[in-house]
């Protein structure tokens, strides 16, 4: 047994050293593939159909920022539920700065930036990182559910035809399929809430309050302590999941404005289709751990989804995909810089309190 463990250690160390290189190789291959695919579509498409309308692109940027407000409010609520005292403005500033950090290799960069920015703003780094993880999982989980709900009308026909024959007929009934996805997601909410609670109890350190402003750890007192209550209630999670759907609806409008910006007619009746496009592509980009900010993966998915839809030329699909990334990135930079101007660092120490209420 000892010999087997000793033999496994060098292999694990070798994989740990090679994994960063493999991630970069995979990332570059994806970028090369997507770039080649985009160039082919642009060259073979109707380039003359692309006309840039900047007001629509500005509207897309504004809607993108507005779409994240439910996530900002959720993160703020979770922070206060676990004992933090950060204001909504502080949370918003850290939130959008963290969005820029997603372009730094390593998904944990977002959590580190957000935790660092709230460290002197009323929230322990451990709580900030934990609650930020909750927020990301809730938002992206809802995005995956929204994308799956809209799959029958969003996914290309070639993809649906390639599905197993046992589930392919379900895609022929979009309304029933969508209702089934929603029902299953609602049923799973209590299980998801319990899992999140277990993670919170494991990672959040117990803290004892002896007097206002005086905090000690369990090692500094002989009194038995329990970890702060961190179980997130099913009703709380379900409510915020439904509220987070508005994030993807607004981001769908942002895509619609971008399509308008490149000359597509884009009637408002296609709103749900845009929502399915954005949520599906964004989730795939998030799931690609090797791609900073989902760069390349999200574009590949969105490009295929747009080219499969009537009324959008290949060149317009390429232009919309590229401009959507650009518009969203510029919006994130403006939000992060603008909110940073709004604040000055506090000189005095930040006082933290034990959680007095837990989201139920």
How many whole angstroms separate alpha carbon 301 and alpha carbon 294? 11
pLDDT in tens, the chain (360 residues): 445 445 445 655 666 677 667 777 887 888 888 888 888 888 877 777 788 999 999 999 999 999 999 999 999 998 888 888 888 999 999 999 988 888 877 667 888 888 888 888 888 888 888 888 888 888 998 999 999 999 999 998 888 888 888 888 888 899 999 999 999 989 988 888 877 666 655 544 443 333 333 333 334 444 443 444 456 778 888 999 999 999 999 999 999 999 999 999 989 999 999 999 999 999 999 888 888 888 889 999 999 999 999 889 999 999 999 999 999 999 999 998 888 876 654 444 444 444 444 565
The pLDDT, as a whole number, for residue 315 is 92
Nearest to 231 by CA among 207, 206, 200: 200
Distances (CA, A) of 81 to 131, 156, 161, 226: 10, 42, 46, 16
The pLDDT, as a whole number, for residue 8 is 47
- Torsion, Cα 14 15 18 19, to 10 degrees, reads -160
User: How far, in whole angstroms, is CA 86 from its chain's centroid?
Assistant: 21
The pLDDT, as a whole number, for residue 15 is 60
- The predicted model scores a pTM of 0.82
Tokens describing residue 52: 């840039």
Tokens describing residue 179: 């209702």
The helix or strand, by DSSP H or E, that contains position 214, with its residue range, turns out to be strand 214-216
Please state the φ and ψ torsions of residue 164, each to the nearest 5 degrees: -55, 145
């Amino acid at each position: 047994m000892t010999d087997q463990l000793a033999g496994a250690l060098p292999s694990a160390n070798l994989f740990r050293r090679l994994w960063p290189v493999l991630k970069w190789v995979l990332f570059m291959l994806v970028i090369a593939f997507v770039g080649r695919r985009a160039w082919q579509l642009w060259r073979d498409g109707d380039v003359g159909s692309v006309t840039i309308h900047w007001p629509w692109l500005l509207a897309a940027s504004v809607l993108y920022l507005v779409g994240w407000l439910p996530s900002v409010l959720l993160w703020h609520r979770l922070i206060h539920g676990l004992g933090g005292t950060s204001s909504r403005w502080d949370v918003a500033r850290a939130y959008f700065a963290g969005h820029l950090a997603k372009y730094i290799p390593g998904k944990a960069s977002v959590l580190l930036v957000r935790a660092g920015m709230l460290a002197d703003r009323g929230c322990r780094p451990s709580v900030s990182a934990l609650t930020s993880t909750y927020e990301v999982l809730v938002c992206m989980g809802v995005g995956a559910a929204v994308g799956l709900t809209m799959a029958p009308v969003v996914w290309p026909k070639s993809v649906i035809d390639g599905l197993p024959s046992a589930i392919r007929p379900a895609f022929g009934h979009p309304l029933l399929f969508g209702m089934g996805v929603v029902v299953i997601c609602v049923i799973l909410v209590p299980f998801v809430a319990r899992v999140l609670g277990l993670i919170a109890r494991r990672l959040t350190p117990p803290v004892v309050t002896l007097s206002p402003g005086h905090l000690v750890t369990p090692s500094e007192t002989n009194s038995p302590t329990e970890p702060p209550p961190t179980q997130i209630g099913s009703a709380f999670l379900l409510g915020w999941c439904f509220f987070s759907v508005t994030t993807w609806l607004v981001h769908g409008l942002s895509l619609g404005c971008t399509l308008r910006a490149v000359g597509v007619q884009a009637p408002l009746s296609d709103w749900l289709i845009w929502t399915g496009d954005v949520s599906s592509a964004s989730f795939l980009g998030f799931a690609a751990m090797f791609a900073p900010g989902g760069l390349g993966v999200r574009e590949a998915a969105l490009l295929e989804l747009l080219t499969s839809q009537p009324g959008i030329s290949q060149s317009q699909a390429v232009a919309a995909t590229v401009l959507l990334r650009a518009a969203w990135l510029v919006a994130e930079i403006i939000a992060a810089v603008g909110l940073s101007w709004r604040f000055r660092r506090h000189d005095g120490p930040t006082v933290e309190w034990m959680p007095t209420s837990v989201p139920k």
